[in-house]
Structure 1
């Protein structure tokens, strides 16, 4: 059964996110006040469980005869300063390696197990930025070669509902790959500010350079890798589902 305070909990998460990531005119994403607000947001997020959002373990759902997407998204709320929603992954699904240019992020597993690999772009910021980028010119008439970027593979670990939230910032762990392990999984996701291509916050996808893999143990990290910018994989897409939980007004 859902807990009695479920509505107040997810509502408090949204309000704390708004306070934490308010625009520069009302605060800034640095300094002790931001750190205090971010810590409080992480504490609240760590309390959220699947039943608080009226979720039960399963994969993405679709109508009869429809092709099941590997991932679906439940929109909860969005403002100019942050977005919040739930990603649902079917068993074995992967959200490919991607970046979050100039963005903060918090990810809390609601059910299942996720393996998350986190990377830093060399020079800081998203990999699509100028730090560590190397572009190879193509001969006239040939197909353009993919852009390459140096990055550090910082961590690759398992997350469950018992784990603390996974956090990214504009300069640390800004790129990550998310795999569902051993069955379906879901996580609550906060991004601040939201993706917005018109303001330079577009999502870019990457793959590891030739001969490189994510098979690294903790003793071998961090390690430098080369990332190739790539189009979105044809076998990955994200469907949409209604959010079944308590209404949220950030």
Structure 2
């Protein structure tokens, strides 16, 4: 693909994302210098992007009464068979609930505002039916198949001055994103895109509290701590609307 020095930053990001992920094989990363260099180039480009590059202006908090407009909206930029890219915009206090990206890579770069991100990994070992773990509140038996052991991998706050948050199919794949101290927006790359027909569908989870230490809040969990997740339907208080993307056109 020829490069033009006058290309917009978002065009350069799209082309680099395609180069990075068009033949992506997670098991082949290892010491693959070409692939690692390609990912490094993409991270460098993402670190440069700002809201103004996409003709997006930071939105202000409002004191208006609660309404039924979406807490989160999405601006679609582009999608190929290798990746999809767009911008998520969160109202003040909004949250994208704990969810996964099965078999997918992700890169998230804050454009304005601040977000808190908690990342989890699923553990391969299945629920231990011999361990009489008790939850608070008690869990009905029919939900046992929806239990997942997990580990809290990382927590952190990201702003426009931060580098991108990166997830892989194996690490940090489940995450929750909360707007902190006002509205926020971030550029989001998923590779490959969601495709339910190919096993890449979004699932939602909640963290369960056990009887031991029931006063422990999610914010108080320590990194590396094992815990239980329960797969749940999409929370009723979360939905995502759409709005036009105002930035430079992107072609692949």
Q: TM-score range by the shorter chain?
A: 0.7 to 0.9
SS of 1:191's equivalent in the other structure is strand
1:156 match: 155
1:43 pairs with 2:44: yes
1:95-106 mapped onto 2 (5 Å cutoff): 95-106=96-107
CA change 1:6–1:112 in 2 (3 A) is farther
The Cα of 1:214 is off from its aligned counterpart by 2.0
After TM superposition, give the deviation of residue 29 of structure 1 in Å: 5.7
Structure 1 contact 7–52 (Cα < 8 Å) conserved = no
Q: Do the aligned partners of residues 134 and 50 (structure 1) sit closer, same or farther apart at CA in structure 2, a change above 3 Å counting?
A: same
SS class of match (1:77): strand
Q: Give yes or no for contact 1:154–1:221 (8 Å, CA) kept in 2.
A: yes
Equivalent residue runs for 1:1-250 within 5 Å: 7-23=7-23, 30=29, 31-58=32-59, 67-122=68-123, 131-134=124-127, 144-145=142-143, 147-210=146-209, 211=214, 213-216=217-220, 220-250=222-252
Q: Deviations over 1:18-41 (max 9, x none)?
A: 00001369x986222211111100
Q: Shift in Å at residue 67 of structure 1?
A: 2.8
The change in CA–CA distance for 1:154 and 1:24 in structure 2 (over 3 A counts) is closer
CA shift at 1:198, angstroms? 0.3
Unpaired stretches in structure 1, ≥5 consecutive residues? 61-65, 123-130, 137-141
What RMSD over aligned residues (CA atoms) do the two structures have, in Å? 2.4
Distance in 2 of aligned mates of 1:24 and 1:168: 14
Structure 2: give runs of 5+ residues left out of the alignment: 62-66, 130-139
Superposed displacement of residue 157, structure 1? 1.1
Distance 1:155 1:28, change over 3 A: closer
**By how many angstroms is 1:236 displaced?**
0.2
Q: Which stretch of the first structure deviates more once superposed, 184-193 or 6-15?
A: 6-15
- For 1:108 and 1:196, how far apart are their aligned partners in 2? 23
Q: How many residues align?
A: 225
Tell which deviates more after alignment, 151-160 or 13-22.
151-160
Distance 1:29 1:49, change over 3 A: farther
CA shift in 2, pair 1:193/1:113, >3 Å: same
Normalising by structure 1, what TM-score?
A: 0.84
In 2, the alpha carbon distance for the partners of 1:78 and 1:184 equals 26
CA change 1:225–1:29 in 2 (3 A) is: same
